Structure 1
Amino acid sequence: MSIAYLAQPGQQQELEWIGGSTFSVLLDSAATEGQLTVGRFAVEKGEAPPFHMHTREDEVFLLISGTALVWSGDDEAVEMEEGGIIYLPRNVPHGYRITSDRADLLMIATPGGIEGMFRMAGRDRSTPRPDGFELSQELMAAAADEFGQVVLGPPR
């Protein structure tokens, strides 16, 4: 049996993201010939991206540990428990808010490419963190636009 691509932990890129959270690029579109992106978020209580939708990819989230409130479309928030999984088709507005002290989320997006947004706006943690560094709202908005994300409103 052959392995088409294996990314050991030391080969996975870790990016600083919203609120000091991290997004690790486990498999990117280059490794999967554009088929998918697999990433992992390590986040703290209260972390919440803007309410948004993806125009280019479908997304799956698996909550490895922790709890979160999840909004999809016009639906009321639902509590996502540890081990819960959600499928979010492209063009469906959604958002989440972490309700546990910490959470670990696995994200799969297909087709691949969304990692470009995280790389454009995030900070590679393998480089020294500049004093006073903050993720720029302007750069995050530009990255979202560049990679087909539509911000629909503030975090919920």
Structure 2
Amino acid sequence: MVELTQKRRSVLLGLAGLGVGHALLPSAAEAEGGAASQGYVLGPTEGEHLVHFRNPGNIFIKVDPLKGSKNLAIGTQQVPIGAGIPIHIHFEADEAFYILEGRGSFILNDVPLPFEKGGTIFIPKNSWHGFKNPDQELLLLWMVTPTGLDAFFRETCSPPGIAPKKLTKEQINEIAEKYATKFR
């Protein structure tokens, strides 16, 4: 029985890496007592793979309610040279970043702050923030609690091989509002 459960988990996590696992993984309610809530290990390119709607940057959702964590979402985000992350605010969530690659300028409540590889950025809820990376690609590890950023990415981004969604600024803010977020 344990072997069958491990094989099922391995298949589901592999499918998640292809961007289709989220449809097959147990819901957060089911996961609370199930195998997904017992923990797991993912490789660098495993997790739910999405491509950002504004740029060709990759996002991998690693931890979220669909995978058994009702309070925490974690993932990686690639930000191509010059793409940045627009100024926005989370009304209910604290967020943190660990800089895996690159450097640039982080804007926190209209104050630009330099950052580099190995740095950590903490953003308490109700703080306007964004990134500028004019000369280097970024690879960020993001963490947010409570969850919601993961769901925002699912609604705005696309799996690899699927055309990017053509969203207006108004549509993006409409989706963001569902997750207590607003873009300037």
- Please, which runs of 5 or more residues in structure 1 have no aligned partner? none
Pairing partner for 2:167 from 111, 122, 136: 136
Question: SS of the residue aligned with 1:109?
Answer: strand
TM-score by length of 1: 0.83
What is the count of residue pairs matched by the alignment? 146
Matched, 1:88 2:120: no
Matched, 1:57 2:93: yes
Contact 2:63 / 2:69 at 8 angstroms: preserved in 1? Answer: no
Question: Residue 41 of structure 1 corresponds to which residue in structure 2?
Answer: 77
Amino acid across the alignment from 2:119: G
Higher helix share: 2
Q: Which 4+ runs in 1 deviate beyond 2 A? A: 7-11, 29-33, 137-142
Root-mean-square deviation over aligned CA pairs? 2.1
Higher relative contact order (CA 8 A, sep 6+): 1
TM-score by length of 2: 0.71
Q: 1:134 Cα deviation (Å)?
A: 4.7
- Please, which runs of 5 or more residues in structure 2 have no aligned partner? 1-36
Question: Residue 117 of structure 1 corresponds to which residue in structure 2?
Answer: 152
2: CA distance between counterparts of 1:11 and 1:82?
Answer: 22
Pairing partner for 1:26 from 54, 58, 62: 62
Q: 1:140 Cα deviation (Å)?
A: 2.3
2: CA distance between counterparts of 1:36 and 1:14?
Answer: 18
1: CA distance between counterparts of 2:134 and 2:119?
Answer: 14
Q: 1:7 Cα deviation (Å)?
A: 4.6
Matched, 1:97 2:96: no
Deviations 1:37-78 (A, max 9, x none): 001011211112221100121000111110021010132x12
Question: SS of the residue aligned with 1:119?
Answer: helix
Question: Residue 148 of structure 1 corresponds to which residue in structure 2?
Answer: 180
1: CA distance between counterparts of 2:99 and 2:57?
Answer: 15
Identity %: 21
